[in-house]
Structure 1
Amino acid sequence: MAKHLHPRNPTREVIEGNPPNDSHLNAHRILTVAFASAAVAGAAACASLQPDPERGFVSIFNGKDFEGWSGPVDNYEVVQGAIVCKKGKGGTIYTKEEYADFIVRLEFKVPSGGNNGLAIRYPGSGDTAYVGMCEVQVLDDNYDKVRGKLDPRQVHGSAYGMAGAKRGFQKPNGEWNEQEVTVKGSTIKVVLNGEVILDTDLAKIDPGTFMAKSKHPGLTRTKGHFGFAGHSDPVAFRNVRIKRL
């Protein structure tokens, strides 16, 4: 029986009288393409089912001005898309809207010895650390080395004067940190650069153990404004967004 080479594939021998079955090859190619397409479509479908981590979050700072904010806004400025407390100035600026339970995400950076705070359920006037639910401290991790001794309930991430946070997870001065604060009922959770540094129920803390035995009349507030409590240092905040729970 004679043999010759396949005209499109010189390396493939063809037995005379038995031509190659190209239809089988084409069918194989079609199935391969079909399976590949199905795999890609399946992967895309799975990806679309993954929850969006930013779903439900709304920006509360437009990166340009203080639209939507109240308080001593003249003591702050917008620098390269960030809210910055002017050096030597301060006071609490806060959202015009009020929030009950929520998650706030933001980025911040502090100068050496920098001090600020997050006003939680703030009523709009008074000392944020006492009249609101609490003030979440925003502070240089090396503050005590630069300016003096700190109580453990004054370090960064603490519910000021009531519950101390873990230290050692802040980035060097001048670098942006990512922080998330969850407020639900009387509980508060602070995540700094992916690390949980505070997770507590303020209602379960004995008031007799508060720093300097100070009273916190706003502790039981269930609603209020969110804001920044400046203390004369150019601490900066950007990408501020909030989600109601």
Structure 2
Amino acid sequence: NGKQTVDHAIMENYWRRGEPLPASGPIQLQTHGGEIRWRNIEVRPLGTDEANDILASKSNEDYTSVFDGKTLDGWIGAVNDYEVTEDGSIQCQKGRGGNLLTEREYSDFSVRLRFRLPERGNNGLAIRAPAEGNPAYAAMTELQVLDNDHPAYAKLDERQYHGSAYGMAAAKRGYLRPTGEWNFQQVTVIGPTIRVELNGNVILDADVSKVEDYMAGSAHPGKTRKSGHFGFAGHNDPVEFKDISIREEN
């Protein structure tokens, strides 16, 4: 009746608790035995950009931009392997790689960003990373940024797909937008816990302190890090990132 009653709530999966809702499906009208009637039902599909804008409009209080859209000021590491595109995104140069990190270090924080994957694209989000070393092992974790559906990645370990804490905890699959479209992602890191929301769906909610089974038996000595840099772990593909902002969680 003209009053908003729900705002940015992530719907639970009534049918499969612990799983996000399917990425697509019917809209259902449900009763519990009593009479109820609906009328004047209208649906308007949302395009990718509009959907991302709605997701990004969730309270931005205390989030600070860490990328000015023009330069790599405030970033360290592989600054020569990344570039700022004409449309204001950070892009790993094709055939280049390395770790591009924020100058600042963070402990508990939430980061929001948009990313776009090329075909077969591969990158990663470095979480509490040291200035040197492989974030997949030396940082708290590297959260995968990956074109999950490319045939080249058909036989990966489940802990290597998009949003996963690399080699430690597998993210839910099926929530990336089509390759070449922008995605919206929010990552919240508090203590040993990591929560990843991709396009409005929770695809990872893990406590890495409880992980004892590692991919290929490889140790992750950095998983106990309490602070470090945030950034991108490039793997030679022109993956793009923009609208990057961080809020420290106290």
TM-score range with shorter-chain normalisation? 0.7 to 0.9
Please identify which structure carries the higher helix content.
1
Residue 191 of structure 2 is aligned to residue 167 of structure 1? no
Residue 215 of structure 2 is aligned to residue 211 of structure 1? yes
Partner deviation per Cα, 1:124-172 (whole Å, 9 max, x = no partner):
10001000100000001213x1355211000000000000000000001
1:179 matched to which residue of 2? 185
Q: What TM-score comes out, normalization by structure 2 length?
A: 0.75
Supply the distance in 1 between the matched residues of 2:59 and 2:239 (Cα, whole angstroms): 27
Supply the distance in 2 between the matched residues of 1:111 and 1:84 (Cα, whole angstroms): 11
Give the one of 130, 135, 138 matched to 1:128: 135
- Cα distance change of structure 1 residues 99 and 239 upon mapping to structure 2, 3 Å threshold: same
Deviating above 2 A after TM superposition, structure 1's stretches of 4 or more consecutive aligned residues are: none
Give the residue type in structure 2 aligned to 1:99: Y
Larger Rg computed on CA atoms: 1
Give the one of 221, 227, 241 matched to 1:237: 241
Gap runs ≥5 in structure 1 = 1-42, 44-50
Give the residue type in structure 2 aligned to 1:236: E
Supply the distance in 1 between the matched residues of 2:113 and 2:58 (Cα, whole angstroms): 17
1:16 matched to which residue of 2? none
Calculate the aligned-residue CA RMSD, in Å.
Answer: 1.8
1:198 matched to which residue of 2? 204
Corresponding pairs, count: 195
Gap runs ≥5 in structure 2 = 4-56
Supply the distance in 1 between the matched residues of 2:99 and 2:181 (Cα, whole angstroms): 23
Are the equivalent residues in 2 in contact too, given 1:112–1:146 (CA < 8 A)? Answer: no
Are the equivalent residues in 2 in contact too, given 1:115–1:138 (CA < 8 A)? Answer: yes
Residue 144 of structure 2 is aligned to residue 140 of structure 1? no
2:136 alignment partner, SS class: helix
Partner deviation per Cα, 1:52-107 (whole Å, 9 max, x = no partner):
71000000000001000000111011111000000000000100000000000000
Q: What TM-score comes out, normalization by structure 1 length?
A: 0.77
Please identify which structure carries the higher strand content.
1
Give the residue type in structure 1 aligned to 2:115: F
Supply the distance in 2 between the matched residues of 1:194 and 1:139 (Cα, whole angstroms): 18
Are the equivalent residues in 2 in contact too, given 1:60–1:242 (CA < 8 A)? Answer: yes
